[in-house]
Each structure stands twice: as C-alpha cells, then as structure tokens.
Amino acid sequence: MALSTFGAIMGFAAEMVQRTETFYKTMVQKAKNPIVGEALQVLLEEERKNYSLMERTRRENVTEMILEPIAGLDQSDYEIEMKGMDQTEDSDLLKMALILEERERRFFSEVSDKVPLPEVGRIFRKVAQKKERSLAKLKTLGLNQLLLGESGKA
C-alpha cells in the first residue's frame, strides 16, 4: 500500500513502532543473559517514547496533513515477517532486534526527506539517528555474545 499522505505515513509509523514495542516486550522476557535483557528493555522504553512521539506529532500537525501528496513510499518496503523466526537463544533475540532497528532507521531516514513539514522531517531524522546509535550498541553486544558464548561467560 502506498504511503501517499501525511496521515498514512504517521499512521504506519505509529503502528510499526507499536508492533516493535510488542516484540521487545516478549523478547525481554525470553532473554537469558541479563545484559541482553537490559539492552532489550532499553529498546522497549525507547519504542514507548517513539510511539508517544508519533501520536503527538500526528495530533499537532493534523491541520497540515491534507495539503500535499507524498510520492515514492510504499508500506511493503518496510514490512518484515517475524513469525517463524527462532527466539530461543539470546543471539536470536539480538538478530531480531537488529532487523527491527534497521527497518525503523531506514523508514525514518527515508521518510524524513519526503514529508512536506520541516518540523516532522526533523523529528524523523532524530529518531533515525537514535536508531543508528541503537544499532551500533546491538552490534557490539552481539559481537560480545559471539565471543563469550550464549551464557555471557568465557
């Protein structure tokens, strides 16, 4: 489905962030290593903030959202299927978190250049930058997991 209006973009952004939050809730409970659990908890809290930010941004910019059509964005470009992915080991959870964070980083980065409202573009760029930082932390944590093994012990 094309994301051709501001309302469609904001609705999809809020829904995507909310689905990611739901995955993180589950993943936090499945984490075996407390360090992985803490990292996922931080991502969960960040997603809660992002959801509130998306909803507030949509409400505050509702009068401008009808003005300009937006081209070149499709919802299917940002959808991922998480069902059936293995979630038994911490390395699996980290892999899923990397996929989710990269998807959101790409979405917010690409959309920030297309939305006609400068303040919304700025908000989306800030979210994309936070996602880049989260990705770097997850990659470091994942590398540590590989080096130390699943239990986190040498």
In a domain, 75, yes or no: yes
Residue of higher predicted confidence among 7 and 34:
34
CATH number at residue 53: 1.20.1260.10
Q: How many structural domains comprise the chain?
A: 1
Domain presence at residue 142: yes
Over residues 14-45, the pLDDT tens digits come to 999 999 999 999 999 999 999 999 999 999 99
In a domain, 129, yes or no: yes
pTM for the structure as a whole: 0.86
Q: Phi first, then psi: what are they for 61, rounded to 5°? A: -110, 20
If one counts every other C-beta atom within 10 angstroms of the C-beta of residue 79, the result is 12
For residue 131, pLDDT beyond 60: yes
Strand partners, 2: 74
- Could you tell me how far CA 123 lies from the centroid of its own chain? 14
Residue with tokens 């003005």: 67
Is 1 a domain residue? no
- The answer to whether position 154 is within a domain reads no
Structural domain boundaries enclosing 61 = 6-148
Three-class SS of residue 2? strand
Q: Which of 23-27, 97-101, 121-125, 144-148 has the lowest mean pLDDT?
A: 144-148
Distance CA 149, CA 154 (A): 7
Query: Is 153 a domain residue?
Result: no
